[in-house]
Amino acid sequence: MAKFFASCPIGLSDLVEKELKQMGLQTWAKTQAGVVFESNWAGCYKANLHSRFSSRILKPLLDFTAFTEEELYNNVRKHDFTKYIREDQTLAIDATVKESNCKDQRYLAMKVKDAIVDQFREKYGTRPDVSNDEPDLKIHIRGYQNLYNMALDTTGNSLFMRGYRSKTGEAPLKENLAAGLIGLTEWDQKSPLLDLFCGSGTLLIEAAMMALNMAPGIHRNHFGFMALKDFDEATWDKVVAEANENEKDSLDFKLFGYDHDKRVIQMAKDNAKNAGVGQFLDLKVSPIAVSAPPIEKGMIVCNPPYGARIGDEDNLKDVYRDLGFTLKNRFQGWDAWIMSGNKDLLKEMKLKSTRQHYLFNGNIECRFLKYEMYAGTRRAD
């Protein structure tokens, strides 16, 4: 058994902890940045395949203090990196450092690389090459106030890269953040959903995959752990087979998506087909000002544009005013969850939220607000 760390966007660590426990994994600690859990390698494979909300699954290796280059180099040498890959494979170092004697992250990465490849050279007479393009071994090192921690990346490309998005519109949500929004609503996975700004379909596709119990990593061709010496292919095949066996093949409800742009609606259809959920999505062109309920009752989850990334804020005021009017006058009896990185635009809706979460979309702090739509919805003060 070993310790692993499931990193995630800020605001989603509660969801990560819950899903790891549902996988049968023992969690140990939780921070804003992720969750520590204990498992064998089979559990690591399972977490990579099944985690909807995580960004990476890391295996912590070393924690040490270093004030000089020599101390840094010698501390890295204390761990045997030759047990992970062969000398003819590739490696990469991802380094960040703050408030430390070593002030340059590129120099930090170089010193760590030197310490690791020197191990190989001494043992085999040759060494791995450095490659940032899908390396066989990726090591993360973080330095803060001369305290360093190192971890092995078992994931490779970030877990949000599910593999089903062939095209996207402007400023698309990362897949794990989209899944996180659905998770935060506490959706029952049995009721219809509607996205009024569906774009290339990520929110709805993630919701469909949840409802079908489809492993979010099932479409990926590669994970970082597959290149390691001790990769157990038989165990991995078993994990994948169990995921396929537990997947549902039908839903008795639809997920609806509207967007004003015909081009991105087609993208959403293509992405949903790639994900294997196309038959469960009902997508159509519908500007927000004229949007109407496709069924009597359901839940709305959407991420309208908010100016920090796309669109002009002044022009977007009309979009939010139309959204508020549409929700109040056409969607009585629905619950609506809206994420936005612009609190002033949210005020243009003239609606009062009943719940709120704070999270980050990249480096943008966002509000994710619930509005309960009933006749005579109170206006915001």
Residue 225 counted as domain residue: no
Report the predicted TM-score, pTM, of the whole model to 2 decimal places: 0.92
Domain of residue 29 covers: 2-153
Note the pLDDT of residue 313: 64
Does the pLDDT at position 310 exceed 70? no
Dump pLDDT digits (tens) for 72-120: 999 999 999 999 999 999 999 999 999 999 999 999 999 999 999 999 9
Residues 38 and 75 in one domain: yes
Looking at the structure, do residues 206 and 350 belong to the same domain, yes or no?
yes
What 8-state DSSP symbol labels residue 381? -
* Residue 89 and residue 193 in one domain: no
Distance CA 241, CA 255 (A): 27
- Please report the pLDDT score of residue 381 as a whole number: 42
Higher pLDDT, residue 35 or 363: 35
Give residue-wise pLDDT tens across range 224-259.
999 999 999 999 999 999 999 999 999 999 999 999
Indicate which CATH number applies to the domain containing 289: 3.40.50.150
Q: Is the pLDDT of residue 171 over 70?
A: no
Q: Are residues 68 and 136 in the same domain?
A: yes
- Identify the residue with better confidence: 208 or 313: 208
pLDDT in tens, 333-363: 999 999 999 999 999 999 999 999 999 998 8
Same domain, 127 and 187: no
C-alpha dihedral, 249 to 253 to 258 to 263, nearest 10°: 20
Domain harbouring 103, CATH code: 3.30.2130.30
Could you tell me the CA-to-CA distances from 44 to 5, 85, 104, 279, 324 in Å, in that order?
10, 18, 32, 32, 44
Rounded CA separation 227/238 (Å):
18
User: Does 203 fall in a domain?
Assistant: yes
With respect to residue 243, please indicate whether it lies within any of the assigned structural domains.
Answer: no
Res 160 pLDDT > 60: yes
Contact (CB, 8 A) for 229 and 86: yes
Question: Has residue 309 got a pLDDT over 50?
Answer: no
Per-residue pLDDT tens digits for 252-269? 999 999 999 999 999 999
Give the model's pLDDT for residue 164: 94
Whether the pLDDT of residue 312 is over 70: the answer is: no
Both 6 and 115 in a single domain? yes
In a shared domain, residues 203 and 79: no
Can you tell me the distance from the alpha carbon of 205 to that of 223, in angstroms, rounded to the nearest whole number? 22
Q: Which whole-number Å values give the CA distances from 81 to 76, 78, 113, 139, 145, in the listed order?
A: 9, 9, 11, 10, 25
| 141 and 196, same domain (yes or no) | no
Distances (CA, A) of 322 to 87, 239, 355: 61, 47, 21
Q: Which of 305, 190, 309, 316 is nearest to 259 (CA)?
A: 305
| Residues 130, 200 share a domain | no
Alpha-carbon span 219 to 81, nearest angstrom = 30
Same domain membership, residue 322 and residue 253? yes
pLDDT digit string, tens, across residues 120-134 = 999 999 999 999 888
Q: Taking all residues of the chain, what is their mean pLDDT, rounded to a whole number?
A: 93
Nearest to 310 by CA among 379, 364, 269: 364
DSSP secondary-structure letter at 156?
S
Q: Is residue 240 part of a domain?
A: no
**Is 189 in a helix, a strand, or coil?**
coil
Rounded distance between C-alpha atoms, residue 167 and residue 372, angstroms: 33
Whether 315 shows a pLDDT value over 90: the answer reads no
Report the pLDDT averaged over residues 177-181: 97
Same domain, 90 and 45: yes
Region 30-46 average pLDDT = 96
Give mean pLDDT, residues 292-304. Answer: 95
Q: Is the residue at 108 inside a domain? A: yes
DSSP-assigned states of every residue in 271-303: HHHHHT-GGGEEEEE--GGG---SSSS-EEEE-
Residue 30 has pLDDT above 80, yes or no: yes
- Is 231 contained in some domain? no
Evaluate whether residue 378 is within a structural domain.
no
Domain count, the chain: 2
Is residue 170 situated within a structural domain?
A: no
Is 148 found in the same domain as 179?
no
